[in-house]
A and B are shown apart, each in its own frame.
Chain A
Amino acid sequence: MKRTAFPFLGFGVGLRRPHYAHILEQRPAMDWYEVISENFMVAGGRPLEVLAAVRDRHPLVLHGVSLSIGTTDPLNRKYLAELRTLAKRIEPAWISDHLCWTGVGGHNLHDLLPLPYTAEVVRHVARRIREVQDFLERPILLENVSSYLTFRDSTLSEWEFVRAVTEEADCGILLDINNIFVNAFNHRFSAEAYLDAIPVERVAQFHLAGHSDHGTHLLDTHDHPVCEEVWALYQHAVRRFGAVSTLIEWDDKIPEFDVLAETAQRARRICEATVGACMTGDELSAQRPAETAVSAHYRA
Protein backbone atom coordinates (compact mmCIF):
# COMPACT_ATOMS: atom_id res chain seq x y z
CA MET A 1 0.00 0.00 0.00
CA LYS A 2 1.40 3.38 -0.98
CA ARG A 3 -0.08 6.80 -0.56
CA THR A 4 -0.78 6.88 -4.29
CA ALA A 5 -3.60 4.40 -3.61
CA PHE A 6 -5.44 7.36 -2.10
CA PRO A 7 -5.99 10.46 -4.28
CA PHE A 8 -5.13 13.95 -3.03
CA LEU A 9 -8.56 15.49 -2.38
CA GLY A 10 -7.47 18.93 -1.19
CA PHE A 11 -8.93 20.58 1.94
CA GLY A 12 -12.29 19.52 3.32
CA VAL A 13 -14.54 19.59 6.34
CA GLY A 14 -16.66 17.08 8.22
CA LEU A 15 -20.26 16.96 6.99
CA ARG A 16 -22.41 17.66 10.04
CA ARG A 17 -26.19 18.03 10.45
CA PRO A 18 -26.30 21.77 11.31
CA HIS A 19 -24.74 22.50 7.89
CA TYR A 20 -26.89 20.20 5.71
CA ALA A 21 -29.28 22.94 4.57
CA HIS A 22 -26.48 25.43 3.88
CA ILE A 23 -24.46 22.92 1.87
CA LEU A 24 -27.44 21.67 -0.15
CA GLU A 25 -28.98 25.09 -0.81
CA GLN A 26 -25.97 27.43 -1.03
CA ARG A 27 -23.52 24.91 -2.51
CA PRO A 28 -20.46 26.54 -0.91
CA ALA A 29 -17.07 25.83 -2.48
CA MET A 30 -15.40 22.89 -0.71
CA ASP A 31 -12.92 20.34 -2.01
CA TRP A 32 -14.39 17.34 -0.19
CA TYR A 33 -16.37 16.12 2.80
CA GLU A 34 -15.89 13.40 5.38
CA VAL A 35 -18.88 11.72 7.05
CA ILE A 36 -19.20 9.52 10.12
CA SER A 37 -20.01 6.14 8.55
CA GLU A 38 -22.35 4.96 11.32
CA ASN A 39 -24.61 8.00 10.91
CA PHE A 40 -25.43 6.84 7.40
CA MET A 41 -25.71 3.09 7.98
CA VAL A 42 -29.50 3.40 7.94
CA ALA A 43 -32.28 1.94 5.83
CA GLY A 44 -33.48 5.19 4.26
CA GLY A 45 -34.72 8.72 4.82
CA ARG A 46 -33.06 12.09 5.11
CA PRO A 47 -29.49 10.95 5.98
CA LEU A 48 -29.09 8.98 2.77
CA GLU A 49 -30.79 11.69 0.69
CA VAL A 50 -28.31 14.26 2.00
CA LEU A 51 -25.40 11.92 1.41
CA ALA A 52 -26.48 11.27 -2.17
CA ALA A 53 -26.91 14.97 -2.90
CA VAL A 54 -23.49 15.88 -1.47
CA ARG A 55 -21.80 12.91 -3.17
CA ASP A 56 -23.23 14.06 -6.46
CA ARG A 57 -21.00 17.13 -6.31
CA HIS A 58 -18.06 16.27 -4.06
CA PRO A 59 -15.69 13.46 -3.19
CA LEU A 60 -16.70 11.84 0.10
CA VAL A 61 -14.77 9.81 2.66
CA LEU A 62 -16.34 7.36 5.12
CA HIS A 63 -14.84 7.76 8.59
CA GLY A 64 -16.01 5.17 11.12
CA VAL A 65 -15.98 5.16 14.90
CA SER A 66 -17.10 1.61 15.72
CA LEU A 67 -14.86 -0.77 13.78
CA SER A 68 -13.14 -1.53 17.10
CA ILE A 69 -10.15 -3.01 15.34
CA GLY A 70 -8.30 -3.60 18.62
CA THR A 71 -11.00 -5.41 20.56
CA THR A 72 -10.64 -9.07 21.49
CA ASP A 73 -14.22 -9.67 20.35
CA PRO A 74 -14.60 -11.22 16.90
CA LEU A 75 -14.92 -8.77 14.02
CA ASN A 76 -18.53 -7.62 13.71
CA ARG A 77 -19.47 -9.09 10.31
CA LYS A 78 -22.90 -7.48 10.30
CA TYR A 79 -21.34 -4.08 10.83
CA LEU A 80 -18.77 -4.73 8.10
CA ALA A 81 -21.48 -5.87 5.70
CA GLU A 82 -23.45 -2.66 6.31
CA LEU A 83 -20.28 -0.62 5.82
CA ARG A 84 -19.57 -2.41 2.55
CA THR A 85 -23.13 -1.77 1.39
CA LEU A 86 -22.81 1.92 2.18
CA ALA A 87 -19.45 2.06 0.40
CA LYS A 88 -20.94 0.44 -2.71
CA ARG A 89 -23.74 2.97 -2.59
CA ILE A 90 -21.63 6.13 -2.39
CA GLU A 91 -18.21 5.05 -3.72
CA PRO A 92 -16.14 6.93 -1.14
CA ALA A 93 -12.62 8.03 -1.98
CA TRP A 94 -11.60 5.78 0.92
CA ILE A 95 -12.75 4.32 4.24
CA SER A 96 -11.08 5.09 7.55
CA ASP A 97 -11.49 4.27 11.24
CA HIS A 98 -9.39 4.41 14.40
CA LEU A 99 -6.47 2.42 15.79
CA CYS A 100 -8.18 1.60 19.08
CA TRP A 101 -10.83 -0.57 20.71
CA THR A 102 -14.36 0.68 21.40
CA GLY A 103 -15.94 -2.17 23.36
CA VAL A 104 -15.69 -5.76 24.52
CA GLY A 105 -18.02 -8.61 25.41
CA GLY A 106 -20.51 -7.44 22.81
CA HIS A 107 -20.85 -4.01 24.43
CA ASN A 108 -19.92 -0.65 22.97
CA LEU A 109 -18.39 2.19 24.99
CA HIS A 110 -18.84 4.63 22.09
CA ASP A 111 -15.36 5.90 22.82
CA LEU A 112 -11.91 5.33 21.31
CA LEU A 113 -9.71 3.56 23.83
CA PRO A 114 -5.96 3.06 23.50
CA LEU A 115 -4.23 -0.30 23.31
CA PRO A 116 -1.08 -1.56 25.02
CA TYR A 117 1.80 -0.91 22.61
CA THR A 118 3.36 -4.36 22.36
CA ALA A 119 4.51 -6.65 19.55
CA GLU A 120 1.71 -9.09 20.40
CA VAL A 121 -0.95 -6.42 20.09
CA VAL A 122 0.63 -5.30 16.80
CA ARG A 123 0.10 -8.82 15.43
CA HIS A 124 -3.44 -9.03 16.81
CA VAL A 125 -4.52 -5.74 15.28
CA ALA A 126 -2.66 -6.18 11.99
CA ARG A 127 -4.30 -9.57 11.40
CA ARG A 128 -7.73 -8.03 11.91
CA ILE A 129 -6.97 -5.07 9.63
CA ARG A 130 -6.01 -7.46 6.85
CA GLU A 131 -9.31 -9.31 7.33
CA VAL A 132 -11.22 -6.04 7.14
CA GLN A 133 -9.37 -4.94 4.01
CA ASP A 134 -10.08 -8.30 2.38
CA PHE A 135 -13.76 -8.04 3.29
CA LEU A 136 -14.09 -4.45 2.06
CA GLU A 137 -11.90 -5.21 -0.96
CA ARG A 138 -9.89 -2.04 -0.48
CA PRO A 139 -7.10 -0.69 1.71
CA ILE A 140 -8.25 1.37 4.67
CA LEU A 141 -6.74 4.19 6.70
CA LEU A 142 -6.42 4.01 10.46
CA GLU A 143 -6.23 7.10 12.64
CA ASN A 144 -4.04 7.65 15.69
CA VAL A 145 -6.36 8.38 18.64
CA SER A 146 -6.10 10.87 21.47
CA SER A 147 -5.57 9.17 24.83
CA TYR A 148 -5.52 9.91 28.52
CA LEU A 149 -3.75 6.81 29.78
CA THR A 150 -0.88 4.53 28.86
CA PHE A 151 -0.27 0.94 29.89
CA ARG A 152 2.70 -0.23 31.91
CA ASP A 153 2.96 -3.28 29.65
CA SER A 154 3.74 -1.14 26.59
CA THR A 155 7.16 -1.86 25.14
CA LEU A 156 6.81 0.44 22.11
CA SER A 157 6.20 4.16 21.84
CA GLU A 158 2.88 5.20 20.29
CA TRP A 159 4.56 6.17 17.00
CA GLU A 160 6.46 2.87 16.88
CA PHE A 161 3.15 1.09 17.43
CA VAL A 162 1.38 3.05 14.66
CA ARG A 163 4.22 2.36 12.28
CA ALA A 164 4.46 -1.34 13.15
CA VAL A 165 0.71 -1.99 12.86
CA THR A 166 0.27 -0.17 9.56
CA GLU A 167 3.35 -1.79 8.02
CA GLU A 168 2.38 -5.30 9.14
CA ALA A 169 -1.22 -4.80 8.01
CA ASP A 170 -0.23 -2.86 4.88
CA CYS A 171 -2.80 -0.14 5.44
CA GLY A 172 -2.69 3.63 5.27
CA ILE A 173 -2.50 6.22 8.06
CA LEU A 174 -4.92 9.01 8.82
CA LEU A 175 -2.71 11.25 10.91
CA ASP A 176 -4.63 13.40 13.37
CA ILE A 177 -2.34 16.31 14.13
CA ASN A 178 -4.41 17.51 17.07
CA ASN A 179 -4.39 14.03 18.63
CA ILE A 180 -0.60 13.97 18.46
CA PHE A 181 -0.49 17.38 20.17
CA VAL A 182 -2.98 16.26 22.85
CA ASN A 183 -1.08 13.02 23.51
CA ALA A 184 2.28 14.80 23.56
CA PHE A 185 0.98 16.92 26.44
CA ASN A 186 -0.85 14.11 28.22
CA HIS A 187 2.03 11.63 27.98
CA ARG A 188 4.99 14.01 27.81
CA PHE A 189 6.63 13.26 24.51
CA SER A 190 7.78 15.35 21.57
CA ALA A 191 5.04 15.80 18.97
CA GLU A 192 7.67 16.62 16.34
CA ALA A 193 9.58 13.41 17.11
CA TYR A 194 6.31 11.49 16.70
CA LEU A 195 5.71 13.04 13.26
CA ASP A 196 9.28 12.42 12.20
CA ALA A 197 8.96 8.70 12.96
CA ILE A 198 5.83 8.10 10.89
CA PRO A 199 6.47 6.58 7.43
CA VAL A 200 5.81 9.22 4.79
CA GLU A 201 4.48 6.84 2.17
CA ARG A 202 1.61 5.60 4.37
CA VAL A 203 0.07 8.94 5.35
CA ALA A 204 -2.92 9.68 3.11
CA GLN A 205 -4.94 12.09 5.24
CA PHE A 206 -4.58 14.65 8.02
CA HIS A 207 -7.17 15.62 10.61
CA LEU A 208 -7.15 19.03 12.25
CA ALA A 209 -9.39 19.84 15.22
CA GLY A 210 -9.66 21.78 18.45
CA HIS A 211 -9.30 20.50 22.00
CA SER A 212 -9.99 21.78 25.51
CA ASP A 213 -7.43 22.37 28.25
CA HIS A 214 -8.32 20.85 31.62
CA GLY A 215 -5.08 21.86 33.29
CA THR A 216 -3.95 18.37 34.17
CA HIS A 217 -4.70 17.07 30.69
CA LEU A 218 -5.91 18.09 27.25
CA LEU A 219 -9.21 16.64 26.07
CA ASP A 220 -9.91 16.00 22.38
CA THR A 221 -13.31 17.67 22.32
CA HIS A 222 -13.56 18.97 18.74
CA ASP A 223 -15.38 22.01 20.11
CA HIS A 224 -12.76 24.73 19.71
CA PRO A 225 -10.84 26.31 16.85
CA VAL A 226 -7.56 24.66 15.90
CA CYS A 227 -5.00 26.22 18.26
CA GLU A 228 -1.81 27.95 17.07
CA GLU A 229 0.45 25.17 18.38
CA VAL A 230 -1.47 22.62 16.30
CA TRP A 231 -1.19 24.84 13.23
CA ALA A 232 2.56 24.96 13.77
CA LEU A 233 2.61 21.17 14.08
CA TYR A 234 0.57 20.94 10.88
CA GLN A 235 3.20 23.01 9.09
CA HIS A 236 5.85 20.62 10.40
CA ALA A 237 3.75 17.71 9.08
CA VAL A 238 3.36 19.30 5.64
CA ARG A 239 7.12 19.81 5.45
CA ARG A 240 7.62 16.10 6.14
CA PHE A 241 4.69 14.53 4.29
CA GLY A 242 4.00 17.08 1.53
CA ALA A 243 0.48 17.94 0.35
CA VAL A 244 -1.86 15.47 2.04
CA SER A 245 -5.68 15.55 1.96
CA THR A 246 -6.63 17.58 5.02
CA LEU A 247 -9.92 17.57 6.91
CA ILE A 248 -11.25 19.95 9.57
CA GLU A 249 -13.24 18.19 12.32
CA TRP A 250 -15.71 20.12 14.48
CA ASP A 251 -18.29 18.04 16.36
CA ASP A 252 -19.53 20.11 19.27
CA LYS A 253 -20.46 23.79 19.59
CA ILE A 254 -20.38 23.69 15.80
CA PRO A 255 -19.97 27.20 14.32
CA GLU A 256 -21.31 28.62 11.06
CA PHE A 257 -20.12 26.80 7.96
CA ASP A 258 -18.00 29.79 6.93
CA VAL A 259 -15.82 29.32 10.01
CA LEU A 260 -15.06 25.75 8.98
CA ALA A 261 -14.50 26.80 5.38
CA GLU A 262 -12.05 29.49 6.47
CA THR A 263 -10.21 26.95 8.65
CA ALA A 264 -9.88 24.67 5.62
CA GLN A 265 -8.58 27.65 3.62
CA ARG A 266 -5.97 28.36 6.30
CA ALA A 267 -4.78 24.76 5.99
CA ARG A 268 -4.54 25.29 2.22
CA ARG A 269 -2.51 28.49 2.68
CA ILE A 270 -0.09 26.76 5.04
CA CYS A 271 0.27 23.85 2.67
CA GLU A 272 0.83 26.11 -0.35
CA ALA A 273 3.32 28.27 1.54
CA THR A 274 5.24 25.13 2.47
CA VAL A 275 5.14 22.93 -0.62
CA GLY A 276 3.79 25.18 -3.37
CA ALA A 277 0.39 25.67 -4.97
CA CYS A 278 -2.26 23.00 -4.35
CA MET A 279 -5.14 22.51 -6.72
CA THR A 280 -8.66 23.52 -5.76
CA GLY A 281 -11.47 21.01 -5.60
CA ASP A 282 -12.69 21.90 -9.10
CA GLU A 283 -9.19 21.60 -10.54
CA LEU A 284 -8.71 18.26 -8.81
CA SER A 285 -12.02 16.99 -10.16
CA ALA A 286 -11.04 18.04 -13.67
CA GLN A 287 -7.85 16.00 -13.35
CA ARG A 288 -9.60 12.89 -12.07
CA PRO A 289 -11.19 11.02 -14.95
CA ALA A 290 -11.56 7.88 -12.84
CA GLU A 291 -13.40 9.87 -10.22
CA THR A 292 -15.80 11.24 -12.84
CA ALA A 293 -16.54 7.74 -14.02
CA VAL A 294 -17.28 6.61 -10.48
CA SER A 295 -19.54 9.57 -9.94
CA ALA A 296 -21.46 8.88 -13.12
CA HIS A 297 -21.89 5.25 -12.11
CA TYR A 298 -23.07 6.38 -8.71
CA ARG A 299 -25.67 8.71 -10.19
CA ALA A 300 -27.00 5.91 -12.31
Chain B
Amino acid sequence: MNSQLKDLQKLLYRLITAPSGVAEGLGAERALPAGGLGALVEGDERLSAEARLEVYADMYFYRLLEVLKEDYPATSTVLGEANFHNLITAYLVEHRPCEPSVRGAGKCLPDFLRRHPLRAELPFVAELAMLERATAEVFCAPDTSLLEASQMNALRPKLWSAVKMRRIPASAVLRAQWGVVEVLRAVEEERDWKPPRRARNWILVWRSNSRVSYREIDSNQAAALTMLARTTGFAKVCEVLARGLPPDQAPQTIGDTFARWLAEGLITRALRGKRDRPRSLP
Protein backbone atom coordinates (compact mmCIF):
# COMPACT_ATOMS: atom_id res chain seq x y z
CA MET B 1 0.00 0.00 0.00
CA ASN B 2 2.78 2.39 0.94
CA SER B 3 4.19 2.25 -2.57
CA GLN B 4 0.77 3.09 -4.03
CA LEU B 5 0.35 6.01 -1.64
CA LYS B 6 3.94 7.07 -2.26
CA ASP B 7 3.41 7.08 -6.04
CA LEU B 8 0.24 9.15 -5.58
CA GLN B 9 1.98 11.66 -3.31
CA LYS B 10 4.95 11.97 -5.66
CA LEU B 11 2.67 12.51 -8.64
CA LEU B 12 0.68 15.19 -6.82
CA TYR B 13 3.90 16.82 -5.66
CA ARG B 14 5.21 17.02 -9.23
CA LEU B 15 1.94 18.45 -10.54
CA ILE B 16 1.52 21.00 -7.74
CA THR B 17 5.06 22.29 -8.16
CA ALA B 18 5.11 22.30 -11.98
CA PRO B 19 6.38 25.83 -12.77
CA SER B 20 3.76 26.65 -15.40
CA GLY B 21 0.84 24.95 -13.72
CA VAL B 22 -0.87 21.59 -13.45
CA ALA B 23 -1.78 21.37 -17.16
CA GLU B 24 1.87 21.64 -18.18
CA GLY B 25 2.80 19.14 -15.50
CA LEU B 26 0.18 16.68 -16.77
CA GLY B 27 1.58 17.04 -20.29
CA ALA B 28 4.99 15.96 -19.06
CA GLU B 29 3.72 13.01 -17.03
CA ARG B 30 4.37 9.49 -18.19
CA ALA B 31 3.09 7.75 -15.04
CA LEU B 32 -0.59 8.68 -15.31
CA PRO B 33 -3.15 5.86 -15.28
CA ALA B 34 -5.59 5.37 -18.14
CA GLY B 35 -8.20 8.07 -17.67
CA GLY B 36 -5.57 10.57 -16.58
CA LEU B 37 -5.85 12.61 -13.41
CA GLY B 38 -9.60 12.05 -13.40
CA ALA B 39 -8.98 8.39 -12.61
CA LEU B 40 -7.34 9.42 -9.33
CA VAL B 41 -9.09 12.63 -8.31
CA GLU B 42 -12.80 13.28 -8.47
CA GLY B 43 -14.04 16.23 -10.49
CA ASP B 44 -17.51 17.64 -11.01
CA GLU B 45 -19.33 20.32 -12.99
CA ARG B 46 -18.04 23.00 -10.60
CA LEU B 47 -14.36 22.04 -10.73
CA SER B 48 -12.56 19.43 -12.81
CA ALA B 49 -9.94 17.20 -11.23
CA GLU B 50 -7.27 19.39 -12.83
CA ALA B 51 -8.85 22.60 -11.53
CA ARG B 52 -9.02 21.13 -8.02
CA LEU B 53 -5.32 20.35 -8.10
CA GLU B 54 -4.66 23.81 -9.50
CA VAL B 55 -6.10 25.24 -6.26
CA TYR B 56 -3.18 23.59 -4.42
CA ALA B 57 -0.68 24.63 -7.09
CA ASP B 58 -1.74 28.28 -6.75
CA MET B 59 -1.58 28.14 -2.97
CA TYR B 60 1.88 26.55 -3.11
CA PHE B 61 3.35 29.26 -5.28
CA TYR B 62 1.59 32.30 -3.86
CA ARG B 63 2.16 31.30 -0.24
CA LEU B 64 5.91 30.99 -0.88
CA LEU B 65 5.95 34.18 -2.93
CA GLU B 66 4.38 36.06 0.00
CA VAL B 67 6.78 34.51 2.50
CA LEU B 68 9.80 35.41 0.37
CA LYS B 69 8.48 38.92 -0.16
CA GLU B 70 8.27 39.30 3.62
CA ASP B 71 11.77 37.83 4.06
CA TYR B 72 13.26 40.03 1.32
CA PRO B 73 11.27 43.29 1.41
CA ALA B 74 14.06 45.46 -0.02
CA THR B 75 15.08 42.96 -2.68
CA SER B 76 11.47 42.63 -3.86
CA THR B 77 11.02 46.42 -3.80
CA VAL B 78 14.16 47.01 -5.85
CA LEU B 79 13.30 44.29 -8.37
CA GLY B 80 9.65 45.28 -8.75
CA GLU B 81 6.64 42.98 -8.63
CA ALA B 82 6.99 41.29 -12.04
CA ASN B 83 10.73 40.67 -11.76
CA PHE B 84 10.37 39.29 -8.25
CA HIS B 85 7.50 37.02 -9.30
CA ASN B 86 9.57 35.60 -12.18
CA LEU B 87 12.64 35.31 -10.00
CA ILE B 88 10.77 33.25 -7.40
CA THR B 89 9.21 31.06 -10.08
CA ALA B 90 12.71 30.15 -11.30
CA TYR B 91 14.13 29.95 -7.76
CA LEU B 92 11.53 27.43 -6.61
CA VAL B 93 12.37 25.13 -9.51
CA GLU B 94 15.98 24.96 -8.38
CA HIS B 95 15.48 25.29 -4.62
CA ARG B 96 12.41 23.37 -3.57
CA PRO B 97 11.54 23.90 0.09
CA CYS B 98 12.59 20.95 2.20
CA GLU B 99 12.62 22.28 5.76
CA PRO B 100 9.67 22.03 8.18
CA SER B 101 9.72 25.78 8.74
CA VAL B 102 8.95 28.09 5.86
CA ARG B 103 11.78 30.29 7.20
CA GLY B 104 14.22 28.05 5.36
CA ALA B 105 12.52 28.48 1.98
CA GLY B 106 14.50 31.56 0.98
CA LYS B 107 17.90 30.74 2.37
CA CYS B 108 19.51 30.16 -1.05
CA LEU B 109 18.02 33.23 -2.74
CA PRO B 110 21.17 35.41 -2.37
CA ASP B 111 23.34 32.76 -4.05
CA PHE B 112 20.67 32.18 -6.69
CA LEU B 113 20.65 35.90 -7.46
CA ARG B 114 24.43 35.92 -7.94
CA ARG B 115 23.92 33.67 -10.97
CA HIS B 116 20.68 35.24 -12.23
CA PRO B 117 20.42 37.43 -15.36
CA LEU B 118 18.78 40.19 -13.27
CA ARG B 119 22.21 40.85 -11.87
CA ALA B 120 23.25 42.46 -15.16
CA GLU B 121 20.58 45.11 -14.68
CA LEU B 122 20.89 45.46 -10.89
CA PRO B 123 24.40 44.27 -10.02
CA PHE B 124 23.99 45.00 -6.29
CA VAL B 125 20.81 43.00 -5.77
CA ALA B 126 22.46 39.73 -4.70
CA GLU B 127 24.34 41.59 -1.96
CA LEU B 128 21.14 43.32 -0.87
CA ALA B 129 19.51 39.89 -0.55
CA MET B 130 22.56 38.64 1.35
CA LEU B 131 22.16 41.49 3.85
CA GLU B 132 18.43 40.79 4.28
CA ARG B 133 19.10 37.08 4.80
CA ALA B 134 21.71 37.89 7.42
CA THR B 135 19.25 40.06 9.35
CA ALA B 136 16.71 37.20 9.31
CA GLU B 137 19.25 34.64 10.55
CA VAL B 138 20.58 36.93 13.27
CA PHE B 139 16.99 37.60 14.43
CA CYS B 140 16.57 34.06 15.77
CA ALA B 141 20.20 33.04 16.39
CA PRO B 142 21.13 31.68 19.85
CA ASP B 143 21.09 33.93 22.90
CA THR B 144 24.21 34.32 24.99
CA SER B 145 25.49 36.21 28.01
CA LEU B 146 27.34 39.41 27.25
CA LEU B 147 30.70 40.67 28.31
CA GLU B 148 29.89 43.89 30.17
CA ALA B 149 32.09 46.97 30.33
CA SER B 150 31.84 46.80 34.11
CA GLN B 151 33.48 43.34 34.05
CA MET B 152 36.41 44.69 32.06
CA ASN B 153 36.64 47.79 34.23
CA ALA B 154 36.80 45.60 37.34
CA LEU B 155 40.07 44.15 36.09
CA ARG B 156 43.47 45.71 36.45
CA PRO B 157 44.42 46.95 32.94
CA LYS B 158 47.47 44.73 32.81
CA LEU B 159 45.15 41.69 32.94
CA TRP B 160 43.06 42.81 29.97
CA SER B 161 45.35 41.34 27.35
CA ALA B 162 44.66 37.82 28.67
CA VAL B 163 40.84 38.11 28.55
CA LYS B 164 39.36 35.62 26.09
CA MET B 165 36.28 36.69 24.19
CA ARG B 166 34.25 36.10 21.06
CA ARG B 167 31.50 37.67 19.01
CA ILE B 168 27.92 36.83 19.97
CA PRO B 169 26.25 34.11 17.85
CA ALA B 170 23.54 36.59 16.84
CA SER B 171 25.89 38.56 14.60
CA ALA B 172 27.45 38.41 11.15
CA VAL B 173 30.21 40.20 9.27
CA LEU B 174 29.54 40.54 5.55
CA ARG B 175 31.81 41.67 2.76
CA ALA B 176 30.17 43.64 -0.06
CA GLN B 177 31.14 45.38 -3.25
CA TRP B 178 28.16 47.75 -3.21
CA GLY B 179 26.77 50.15 -0.63
CA VAL B 180 23.64 48.13 0.03
CA VAL B 181 23.26 49.30 3.63
CA GLU B 182 21.84 52.57 2.40
CA VAL B 183 19.42 50.80 0.03
CA LEU B 184 18.02 48.59 2.79
CA ARG B 185 17.77 51.55 5.14
CA ALA B 186 15.89 53.61 2.55
CA VAL B 187 13.38 50.81 1.90
CA GLU B 188 12.87 50.20 5.63
CA GLU B 189 12.27 53.90 6.18
CA GLU B 190 9.93 54.00 3.16
CA ARG B 191 12.17 56.53 1.37
CA ASP B 192 13.06 56.42 -2.31
CA TRP B 193 16.12 54.24 -2.76
CA LYS B 194 18.98 55.15 -5.06
CA PRO B 195 21.35 52.75 -6.86
CA PRO B 196 24.26 52.33 -4.46
CA ARG B 197 27.87 53.30 -5.09
CA ARG B 198 30.31 50.57 -5.99
CA ALA B 199 32.95 50.38 -3.28
CA ARG B 200 34.23 47.49 -1.24
CA ASN B 201 32.73 47.63 2.25
CA TRP B 202 32.08 45.50 5.30
CA ILE B 203 28.76 45.25 7.08
CA LEU B 204 28.13 44.25 10.66
CA VAL B 205 24.71 42.73 11.45
CA TRP B 206 23.86 42.01 15.06
CA ARG B 207 21.02 41.58 17.51
CA SER B 208 20.81 43.46 20.76
CA ASN B 209 17.78 43.44 23.06
CA SER B 210 15.81 41.51 20.41
CA ARG B 211 16.43 44.22 17.81
CA VAL B 212 18.51 43.54 14.71
CA SER B 213 20.79 46.38 13.58
CA TYR B 214 23.31 46.73 10.79
CA ARG B 215 26.00 49.25 9.85
CA GLU B 216 29.09 49.57 7.74
CA ILE B 217 32.39 49.02 9.52
CA ASP B 218 36.00 49.69 8.54
CA SER B 219 38.42 46.97 7.45
CA ASN B 220 40.18 46.72 10.80
CA GLN B 221 36.91 46.17 12.64
CA ALA B 222 35.85 43.65 10.00
CA ALA B 223 39.10 41.73 10.44
CA ALA B 224 38.87 41.80 14.23
CA LEU B 225 35.19 40.84 14.33
CA THR B 226 35.74 38.06 11.79
CA MET B 227 38.52 36.74 14.00
CA LEU B 228 36.15 36.98 16.99
CA ALA B 229 33.90 34.35 15.45
CA ARG B 230 36.34 32.10 17.37
CA THR B 231 37.62 32.59 20.87
CA THR B 232 40.34 35.24 20.77
CA GLY B 233 42.47 37.01 23.31
CA PHE B 234 41.99 40.73 23.80
CA ALA B 235 45.64 41.38 22.93
CA LYS B 236 45.17 39.88 19.49
CA VAL B 237 42.01 41.93 18.96
CA CYS B 238 43.95 45.10 19.81
CA GLU B 239 46.72 44.15 17.43
CA VAL B 240 44.27 43.81 14.54
CA LEU B 241 42.40 47.01 15.39
CA ALA B 242 45.69 48.94 15.45
CA ARG B 243 46.75 47.91 11.94
CA GLY B 244 47.85 50.90 9.88
CA LEU B 245 47.09 53.42 12.61
CA PRO B 246 49.69 55.96 13.76
CA PRO B 247 51.01 54.74 17.14
CA ASP B 248 49.73 57.83 18.93
CA GLN B 249 46.17 57.30 17.68
CA ALA B 250 45.93 53.55 18.15
CA PRO B 251 45.08 53.40 21.89
CA GLN B 252 42.25 55.90 21.53
CA THR B 253 40.80 54.18 18.46
CA ILE B 254 41.01 50.73 20.07
CA GLY B 255 39.42 52.02 23.26
CA ASP B 256 36.56 53.76 21.43
CA THR B 257 35.93 50.76 19.17
CA PHE B 258 35.93 48.22 21.97
CA ALA B 259 33.73 50.41 24.18
CA ARG B 260 31.23 50.70 21.34
CA TRP B 261 31.20 46.92 20.80
CA LEU B 262 30.51 46.34 24.47
CA ALA B 263 27.77 48.99 24.50
CA GLU B 264 26.20 47.40 21.44
CA GLY B 265 26.18 43.97 23.07
CA LEU B 266 28.47 42.39 20.48
CA ILE B 267 30.94 40.57 22.68
CA THR B 268 30.52 37.53 24.87
CA ARG B 269 32.87 35.91 27.27
CA ALA B 270 34.73 32.96 25.82
CA LEU B 271 33.05 29.59 26.19
CA ARG B 272 34.76 26.47 27.38
CA GLY B 273 34.86 23.71 24.81
CA LYS B 274 31.84 21.65 23.88
CA ARG B 275 29.90 22.33 27.02
CA ASP B 276 29.65 26.02 26.21
CA ARG B 277 30.18 27.07 29.78
CA PRO B 278 31.26 30.67 30.33
CA ARG B 279 34.89 30.89 31.29
CA SER B 280 35.80 33.08 34.22
CA LEU B 281 37.68 36.19 33.48
CA PRO B 282 41.34 35.98 34.51
Contacts and interface: CB of A to CB of B under 8 A. Distances in A.
Contact of B2 (A49, A76, A79, A124): A124
A289 interface: no
Contacts of A106: 98
Contacts of B1: 120-121, 124
A149 B210 contact: no
A12 interface: no
Q: Chain A contact residues: over half helix, strand or loop, or mixed?
A: loop
B40 interface: yes
A44 B207 CA distance: 11
B140 interface: yes
Contacts of A149: 41-42, 49, 52-53, 55-56
Nearest to A115: B5
Interface string A60-79: 00000010000110001001
Nearest to B66: A252
Contacts of B142: 43-44
Interface in B167-205: 169-170
Contacts of A38: 100-103
Interface string B41-71: 1100011010111011001100110010000
Interface string B94-122: 00111111110100000000000000000
A113 B67 CA distance: 19
Q: Which of A43, A79, A104 has the most CB of B within 10 A?
A: A104
Interface residues on A, range: 35 or more
Interface residues on B, range: 35 or more
B16 interface: yes
Interface stretch (A150-158, A190-198, A242-250): A150-158
A150 B96 contact: no
Contacts of B51: 216
Contacts of B10: 104-105
A272 B9 CA distance: 43
Contacts of A105: 10, 13
Contact of B105 (A110, A121, A148, A216): A110
Contact of A79 (B42, B97, B100): B100
Contacts of A153: 40
Nearest to A80: B100
B97 A101 contact: no
A164 to B, nearest CB: 15
Contact of A41 (B100, B169, B207): B100
Given A46-B210, A153-B40, A41 B101 contact: yes
Contacts of B40: 151-153
Interface of B: 1-2, 5-6, 8-10, 12-13, 16-17, 39-42, 46-47, 49, 51-53, 55-56, 59-60, 63-64, 67, 96-103, 105, 139-144, 169-170, 207, 210
6 contacts: A151-B40, A152-B39, A152-B40, A153-B40, A216-B47, A217-B52
